[in-house]
Chains A and B, each alone.
Chain A
Amino acid sequence: ETGVTQTPRHLVMGMTNKKSLKCEQHLGHNAMYWYKQSAKKPLELMFVYNFKEQTENNSVPSRFSPECPNSSHLFLHLHTLQPEDSALYLCASSQTSSALEQFFGPGTRLTVL
């Protein structure tokens, strides 16, 4: 595997389910990010981790819970989501959180019923 990978690519869940999104980067980077991409809206930065420490939470509801066990892995735990949370969730990484270029994964298409 190369670059940034995300699993699953598609996820359908009910509002009472608990699920997790996984991101893995194979680039030796130290910063990782979660973005939300909704139709006809700009990408929204959700969380930033730098050297496993969360450095930014962009006022994200607590039903989204990130976890960064090491610099290569990033999770987004989901529970009691709402239909308006349906979106494409993109993971990205960069050398550090001050680096200019971010490398993106292919995203997880989430549908909340």
Chain B
Amino acid sequence: AQTVTQSQPEMSVQEAETVTLSCTYDTSESNYYLFWYKQPPSRQMILVIRQEAYKQQNATENRFSVNFQKAAKSFSLKISDSQLGDTAMYFCAFTQETSGSRLTFGEGTQLTVNP
């Protein structure tokens, strides 16, 4: 069975600084996808970034980038130039290539951006 672990229940960062959220996962599959979702206080879960396991290049979306270490089964999210609107719960998630609908989520990291 696949598992996703986020070891940081809470983190805080000053506005404009950079923060990295950690995620590790366990799988025996070679083809899979990893995601970071953001859930702000409004509760609407939003996809932040996606990484395909077969791609060596780390995914980037504006201020959000990942550090994907396949051998270490590590998938961290870096947020640059943090903004107050980045305050949210962040979830790391995993799915096998063959089961797109079955997302396995981590427990989440509550990120607070301080002014």
* Distance between Cα atoms of A104 and B43 in the complex (Å): 9
**Which bucket holds chain B's interface residue count?**
20 to 34
- B62 near A: Cβ within 8 Å? no
* Distance between Cα atoms of A51 and B61 in the complex (Å): 32
Stretch at the interface among A18-26, A42-50, A66-74, A78-86: A42-50
- Chain A residues proximal to chain B, CB less than 8 Å: 31, 33, 40-43, 45, 48, 50, 55-56, 88, 90, 92, 94, 97-107, 109
B contact face: mostly helix, strand, loop, or mixed: loop
Chain B CB within 10 Å, residue with most, of A31, A56, A92, A100: A100
A-B contact count (CB 8 A): 57
- Give every chain B residue within 8 A of A88 (Cβ-Cβ): 43
16 further contact pairs, Cβ within 8 A, besides A94-B100, A100-B100, A106-B43: A42-B4, A42-B104, A42-B107, A45-B103, A48-B101, A97-B100, A97-B101, A98-B100, A99-B100, A100-B50, A101-B47, A102-B101, A102-B103, A104-B45, A106-B44, A107-B44
- Chain B residues proximal to chain A, CB less than 8 Å: 4, 9, 33, 37, 42-47, 50, 91, 95, 99-108
